[in-house]
Amino acid sequence: MRGRLWLGGNCGGGNRVMGMSIGVTGGAGYIGAHIVRLLERAGHAVVVIDDLSYGYATRAGHAELVQLDLADTAELPRLQAALDGCSAVVHVAGRKQVGESVERPAWYYQQNVGGMANLLLAMEAQGVGRLVFSSSAATYGEPSVGRVREDIDMKPINPYGESKLVGEWLARDAVRAWGLRAVNLRYFNVAGAGWDDLGDPAVLNLIPMVFQKLAAHRQPVIFGDDYPTEDGTCVRDYIHVLDIASAHMIALDYLDGDDRPFDAFNIGTGAGNSVRQVIEMIGEVTGLDVTPEIAPRRAGDPPVLIGEVERINRVFGWKADYDLRSIVDSSWRAWQASPDVGRR
């Protein structure tokens, strides 16, 4: 598996992109900072472009940090200058809250689609010809199949998912128009921490939301236990953030060496865990009482969303290394160890 070579920080002399600058948008955020750390450990110079709305400058490692809002067209000259000398961009920056996207659809399009459009304009102007784009399983909507393949009909059910899908189209169109090479990585449910100082600073997803309740000596909440699943709670494909980051390393390598100019891959484990199973695992790891309170269903939650990962396994030689216990365990350690984790 090629990508595993990068994890140890010794990518060897045969690595074609060794030593080039990589631009990472959102590199001061939760997922982006993991990618930056792996890139730096592999010997790359990194330029982080981040508006610091959710990120922390301290997470950007040794990278040059350019603070700007990608969606602000007035910033295009600075964005273009930031990409000078970059061989590729990993585009992680974006808004990612489903509920917020339903309330503020135009702003979501402005941020995610506008940001992507500005980035592509700047990349074209600078001749930066490779892109790894953070897409999402939210692009699939509510698929009727248990395990989702990359080639099913994309029918997102909220503006967040729509904005990611349009981002994929923009990348595809740039491939046709000026020769960009792009890979879209469709994340499933990202969680965990690769290092204690890089845990998720936001409390927007199941695991940090449960931690926050436990920290307040309150019961975790399950949004609906009457779904058509084995235990009645929603099933998701939880993927360790370090597995996500390693997939980006391989995607960069693939863009450098493969002839296909455009592709999309699921990044998941191929296995599902229910909300109840995740909460039980949190109980095992923390030793705390996690008896849940059952609340009504949350709007827009598909009962089951699991990624089919056969393609990424076959084409990249990538598969997830970490299981649910590692995800919960590393999240908990980061939550306890770092002052910014779970605080936004």
Shortest CB 153 distance to ligand UFG, Å: 17
Q: Is 209 in the site for ligand UFG (CB under 6 A)?
A: yes
12-39 residues labelled b (16+ CB within 10 A) or e (exposed): eeebebeebbbbbbbbbbbbbbbbbbbb
Closer CB to ligand UFG, 124 or 301, in the complex: 301
Q: Which of 223, 261, 280, 326 binds ligand UFG (CB under 6 A)?
A: 223
Pattern 107-136, ligand UFG, x by CB under 6 A: -----------------------------x
Q: Which residues pair with 191 in a beta bridge?
A: 240
306 in contact with ligand UFG (CB under 6 A):
no
Alpha carbon distance 41, 37 (integer Å): 6
Least separation in angstroms between CB 222 and ligand UFG: 4
What is the rounded distance in angstroms from the CA atom of residue 282 to the CA atom of residue 291? 11
CB count, 10 Å around CB of 90?
A: 29
Q: Which of 240, 228, 224, 263 is nearest to 146 (CA)?
A: 228
Strand ranges, E, within 71-129: 86-91
- Please tell me the count of residues contacting ligand UFG according to CB under 6 A: 18
Question: Which residue of 63, 82, 170, 206 would you call a contact of ligand UFG, by CB under 6 A?
Answer: 206
CA distance 180 to 120: 9
Site membership for ligand UFG, residue 222 (CB under 6 A): yes
Query: How many degrees, rounded to 5, is the angle at CA 286 between CA 299 and CA 223?
Result: 10
CB of 283 vs ligand UFG, minimal distance in Å: 14
User: Which positions are annotated as active-site residues?
Assistant: 160
138 binds ligand UFG (CB under 6 A): yes
Cβ atoms of 141 and 154 within 8 Å: the answer is yes
Does residue 234 interact with ligand UFG by CB under 6 A?
yes
- For ligand UFG, give the closer residue by CB, 76 or 221: 221
Contact 36, 27 (CB under 8 A): yes
Q: How far is the CB of 216 from ligand UFG (least distance, A)?
A: 13
Cβ proximity to ligand UFG, 108 vs 188, nearer residue: 188
State the Cα–Cα distance between residues 195 and 188, nearest whole angstrom: 20
Per the listing, tokens 């699921």 go with 266
Smallest distance, Å, CB 208 to ligand UFG? 9
In the beta sheet, which residues pair with residue 61? none
Query: Pattern of binders to ligand UFG over 266-285, x per CB under 6 A?
Result: ---------x----------
- Kindly list the residues in this chain that would bind ligand UFG in the complex (CB under 6 A): 96, 136-138, 188-189, 205-206, 209, 221-223, 234, 236, 275, 298, 301, 305
